[in-house]
Chains A and B, each alone.
Chain A
Amino acid sequence: MDAECTQLIIEALKEEEIDLFVTLPEEPTASLTRAVQADPYFTCVAVASEGSGIALCAGASIGGRRNVFVTGVAGLLMGGLALTHMGPQYGIPVFILASYRGDIGDRSGISGSKLQVFRQVGEPFLQALRLPYRVVDQRSTLKRTIVDAHFSCRTSDIPVVLLLTGEVLW
């Protein structure tokens, strides 16, 4: 993720008064995590597992603290149980930015066939949970989409996922 997209995301998070940034650090969003850690506006929590991250965000959300969980598609799958409970079961808003590993253009160096698994499984998984999600691949729409998605997340009481790819990520 380049500096411009990192800045756009930070601006959007601040516009939405999201000051709790939760992540299990991963390579495609590492620059975003570093920038957030250096910004005193944010409380940054690096969790040890994706399930913990999603549960932590859910606990903060019902307490009224705005937050974002930053992960990858693999992280969504790892946190599947937590996402299932916080979404379809309880209806708790959890706002998630996920790097869309395996999408067209992913040059992250992992073997292509491994990445294909994430592309094949990621969106069907979100569809199975009936969670709203959108693929964001244009920097021109990035900020607006984050603001809109977070609005829908907190007003609809449901997790919302933005899959970051294209010029936003690679």
Chain B
Amino acid sequence: MRHSEAMQLVSTFITDEMLTVTNLTTNARMWSALRGERPSFYGLNMGLCLPFAVGLSLAFPKRRVFALDGDGSLIIETSALITAADVSPPNLLAIVFDNGVYSDMAETATTRRTDLEKMAQGAGIQRTATVRTPEELGSAVEQALASGEFAFLVAKVERDRQIPFRGDYIARSERGMKEAFVDALRRLPDYGSWR
């Protein structure tokens, strides 16, 4: 399945009540094009997406949080898997879009011997899956959402040749993007009421 196809499919599960954070470059640009001006936290740098999402999940324990990460980003900070496993926020669904490349550059280790799902299992994450088709992805997301448990999915995707260049991630500065996201969070009825 193509990366954009997988992202499009995942977007059909994400409602405006859910919170989404992405890593940088490909995922940020694809998600931004799908989301338009609706706020998300876009473009967290290498290795920061998953732990950031864990923190956001702890602030909104009754709200679903999606971490849309990439293989290159996760590989640089695989210890985040251990932290995520340790905390296991039941409201967090992490999806790694594994296209096997660093943006448009060289191949990542997942094209050789590295298996991110096995690493997640080794870190202690209970609910994991690797999916390769839209059907498998849709089913895995559906099951993860229904489970009420922290889940970690690796979506094996083919690289898209053209990455969209529109939406909030492109239109705003990073500070502006953050402010828009924080403003949206502050309007939520459960903001600041994690207890």
Q: Which residues of A contact B (CB under 8 A)?
A: 19-20, 43, 45-49, 51-53, 55-65, 67, 81-82, 85, 89-92
- Shortest C-beta distance, A19 to chain B (Å), equals 8
Q: Which residue of B lies closest to A85 (CB)?
A: B45
Q: Across the interface, do B186 and A64 meet the contact criterion of CB distance under 8 Å?
A: yes
Q: List 19 A-B contacts (CB under 8 A).
A: A20-B58, A45-B58, A47-B51, A48-B86, A53-B83, A55-B44, A55-B52, A55-B55, A56-B58, A59-B51, A59-B53, A59-B56, A60-B55, A60-B59, A62-B185, A64-B186, A64-B191, A65-B59, A85-B44
Name 20 extra pairs, CB < 8 A, besides A55-B51, A81-B48: A45-B83, A45-B87, A46-B86, A47-B86, A48-B83, A48-B86, A51-B48, A51-B77, A55-B44, A55-B55, A62-B59, A62-B182, A63-B58, A63-B191, A64-B185, A65-B55, A65-B59, A81-B46, A90-B174, A92-B178
A130 to nearest B CB, angstroms?
15
Partner of A51, one of B51, B82, B175: B51
**Looking at chain B, what size class is its interface with the partner chain?**
35 or more
Question: Which listed residue (A19, A49, A61, A63) contacts B79, Cβ 8 A?
Answer: A49
A58 near B55 with CB under 8 A, answer yes
Write the residues of chain B forming the contact surface with A, with a CB cutoff of 8 angstroms. 21, 41, 44-48, 50-60, 77, 79-80, 82-83, 86-87, 174-175, 178, 181-182, 185-186, 191-192, 194-195
